[in-house]
Amino acid sequence: MNLKAVSMDTPSSSPQSHKRNPGFDLDMDWVDRVRMNRSALERRAGTIGARRSVKKNYQAAWLLKAITLIDLTTLNSDDTPGRVRRLCAKARQPVRSDILYALGAQELDIKPGAVCVYHNFVSTAVEALADSDIPVAAVSTAFPHGLTPLEIRLQEIEASVKAGAREIDIVIERGLVLEGNWQGLYEQTKAMRAACGDAHMKTILGTGELATQTNVAKASLVCMLAGADFIKTSTGKEKVNANLQTSLSMIRMIRWFHDETGIEVGYKPAGGISKAKDALTYLALIKEELGMNWLQPHLFRFGASSLLTDIERQLEHQVTGRYAADYRQPLV
């Protein structure tokens, strides 16, 4: 089988032509107009993945695409330099060469979108990924709660960038959203964007703690106006992480923002996405709501630590007809 023969739509833009979000003035009239209908979101979410499926070579092609959109992540309290180096080795070769060869995909450049670690391990990851062109992303700003003084959070961003992180995943103060302090959220996010410099900023909203879908949508808009390159659902540490209803709220704000400004902002669902079938559902959601152009690493990522393992199992099943045990595809 040869996955090169499987037709997929060609994106209309590339990372080279992508214009980074410069940020805009806070438009409170726009923020005040934002409303989300929870019931409508739930009905729409229920149709994603239910009306279509991809099989065989097409499924394998989409799963390989999904690998290129993963932020391969380790954010555990027992992380060590050795664990991070093993994760980076996995990032260099995310799928066994024999499986790629059997799929006819051995010449494809299959690698994850980034490796995401705590600040303490940025230099370790940068060294382990040298010459691979896989960026290192650092979680920053007092991850996961975001409740240290702003000056300290900005210093942490600057330290991660100095250590070699090319992407910074920051967290907002959820209390600013719950209090409706949109000016405060805007100013803090804008300051963090400035501290990132050339590093791209993914803004984690902590959506499971924002109470309503309208709050999620307004927070999405304010962060995009402040210059966020990506908006991201969760830290993965909340009780409620990524889900389809919240994803719809966020990506519809991305679409509205693009319609009004011409700027493409990325989206990253994170937390609880561990199965290949879930990845396919999210890919279908993005394709239908934003278009194929968004299914590129500079505009869409999965925040995941175990998703790759299940994707590998599905790919091996495609080749052999058998499901392998998880330990045959260890991450670290």
Cα–Cα distance, 208 to 244 (Å, whole number)? 12
What pLDDT, on a 0 to 100 scale, did the predictor assign at position 323?
76
Residue 216 token pair: 């999620």
What pLDDT, on a 0 to 100 scale, did the predictor assign at position 305?
84
Cα–Cα distance, 281 to 66 (Å, whole number)? 11
Which residue out of 169, 229, 278, 310 is catalytically annotated?
169
What pLDDT, on a 0 to 100 scale, did the predictor assign at position 3?
56
Q: Quick check: 227 and 21 in contact, CB under 8 A?
A: yes
What pLDDT, on a 0 to 100 scale, did the predictor assign at position 42?
94
Cα–Cα distance, 93 to 70 (Å, whole number)? 13
- DSSP assignment, residue 270? B
Mean per-residue pLDDT pooled into runs of 10, the chain (332 residues)? 48 70 98 97 88 80 97 96 97 94 92 97 98 96 95 98 98 98 98 98 97 98 98 94 96 98 98 93 96 97 93 92 72 61
List C-alpha distances in Å: 21 to 172, 199, 265.
18, 12, 7
Which residue out of 71, 218, 232, 310 is catalytically annotated?
232
**Is there a catalytic annotation at residue 268?**
yes
Residue 156 token pair: 């942490």
Shortest CA distance to 109 belongs to which of 264, 297, 265? 297
DSSP-H helix ranges across 116-227: 122-128, 150-163, 174-178, 182-196, 213-225
Per DSSP, what are the bridge partners of residue 266? 230
What pLDDT, on a 0 to 100 scale, did the predictor assign at position 59?
93
Cα–Cα distance, 80 to 131 (Å, whole number)? 22
What pLDDT, on a 0 to 100 scale, did the predictor assign at position 7?
42
- DSSP assignment, residue 68? T
What pLDDT, on a 0 to 100 scale, did the predictor assign at position 187?
98
Residue 120 token pair: 């303490």
Name the residue type at position 233.
T
What pLDDT, on a 0 to 100 scale, did the predictor assign at position 324?
73
Cα–Cα distance, 256 to 267 (Å, whole number)? 13
What pLDDT, on a 0 to 100 scale, did the predictor assign at position 220?
98
**Is there a catalytic annotation at residue 169?**
yes
Residue 183 token pair: 């000016």
Q: Find the Cα–Cα–Cα–Cα dihedral 283, 275, 118, 192, rounded to 10°.
A: 30
Which residue out of 218, 268, 278, 310 is catalytically annotated?
268
pTM over 0.85: yes
Cis ω on the peptide bond leading into residue 330 (within 30° of 0)? no
All structural domains of the chain, each given as residue ranges with its CATH number in brackets, are 22-44+55-328 (3.20.20.70)
* Greatest distance between any 2 Cα atoms in the chain: 57
